[in-house]
Amino acid sequence: MAFILSWGTSSCLSVIQNRACNTAGATPRAVHSALQSNGRGLWRCARSTPALLRANRFRAQPFSPSASPKFPFSSRLFATAATGSGKVAVVTGASRGIGRAIALALGEAGCHVVVNYSASEAAATAVVQSIKRAGGEAMAFKADVRQPEQVDALFTAALERLGRVDVVVNNAGITRDTLMLRMRPEQWQEVIDLNLTGVFLCSQAAAKVMLKQRSGRIINIASVVGQIGNAGQANYAAAKGGVLALTRSNAREFAPRGVTVNAVAPGFIATEMTENLPQEQIQKTIPLGRLGEAREVAGLVRFLALDEAAAYITGHTFNVDGGIAIGAGN
């Protein structure tokens, strides 16, 4: 359940004084005054808010659009929030971990989900059954997204059975971690082939469908490692950094036809991929002090894939990382 502070906190905003003026007519004194007033006001609010919360002067209340008649737009916004009714979503690497959570989230939102897997048929079937138990529709399809002909078969099957493709989540990925000096060429190539070339091939196949439809949303699952690097993951960092660049390029290329492309960069998420890592050591590097959960990544993907409020967002990367990459560029 989401929470907001009571409307009394709007008093914090009142300290921000407006010193706006035309650029040509701005005087040094006016600019200095605006900076001083706004800076001091925001600093005082930020400094006082924790104390006010501890004193219970501002009570956290369940958020409800209907509870705020002053802002009728919020009711319209949340009334149209993420619904996937009638939409078709293809999720690669959807049999476990983050991919599984994304497939479940989209299925629960009303999408017909194509659960892609490469080897884990039983796990993919279980995801399909979970979506159906939740009232959604799903089908499993085996395809190695490193292989162009198998990617073509995946999208052909989705079109033949379901008639369209509205959402593609490029999630399939692997790690082959080792120090740079010890990394064998095949360890490098394995990760590049799946984590980067696989995204390219699926994005290309998706674009052929979506550009004709003049609609569609592509979400690429990248990683904070592609932004800040990580010792022992040169191959993974290079692949995920490539995904971020590919996201921006495709967003520019596909935008004229109404297709959006965005990336989500998870940090350390509690999945099979991270279960053997030194948990306590990692948590010390994360400002929020814990690993993330797959459902937290899935919630952001669901927003980008289905919400009307995300229709004007393209070419951007959104971090779900507990703050580990604060200040890093996209």
Q: Are 115 and 126 in contact (CB under 8 A)?
A: no
- Binding residue per annotation — 282? no
How far is the C-alpha of 35 from the C-alpha of 18, rounded, in Å?
A: 10
Q: Are 293 and 269 in contact (CB under 8 A)?
A: yes
**Which residue shows structure tokens 């989540």?**
169
- Could you tell me where the DSSP H helices lie in 173-323? 185-192, 198-213, 225-228, 234-254, 279-283, 294-306
Q: Are 100 and 294 in contact (CB under 8 A)?
A: yes
> How far apart, in Å, are the Cα atoms of 168 and each of 13, 21, 48, 82, 88?
40, 45, 44, 15, 9
- Binding residue per annotation — 269? yes
- Binding residue per annotation — 255? no
- Binding residue per annotation — 284? no
Q: Within a 10 A sphere around the Cβ of 151, how many other Cβ atoms? A: 23
- Binding residue per annotation — 323? no
- Binding residue per annotation — 312? no
- Binding residue per annotation — 240? yes
Cα 293 from chain centroid (whole Å): 13
- Binding residue per annotation — 236? yes
Give me the torsion for CA of 175, 180, 182, 187, rounded to 10°: 30
- Binding residue per annotation — 238? yes
Nearest in space to 317 (alpha carbons), one of 246, 256, 254, 255: 246
How far is the C-alpha of 316 from the C-alpha of 217, rounded, in Å?
A: 13
- Binding residue per annotation — 93? yes
Active site residues: 236
> How far apart, in Å, are the Cα atoms of 259 and each of 114, 208, 313?
19, 11, 10
Show the CA angle centred on residue 152, arms to residues 102 and 208, nearest 5°: 80
- Binding residue per annotation — 47? no
Backbone angles phi, psi at 107, to 5 degrees: -65, -45
Which residues fall within 8 angstroms of residue 291, CB to CB, at 6 or more apart?
268, 269, 270, 274, 279, 282, 283, 322
Query: What are the binding residues?
Result: 93-96, 171, 236-240, 269
Query: What are the binding residues for NADP(+)?
Result: 93-96, 171, 236-240, 269
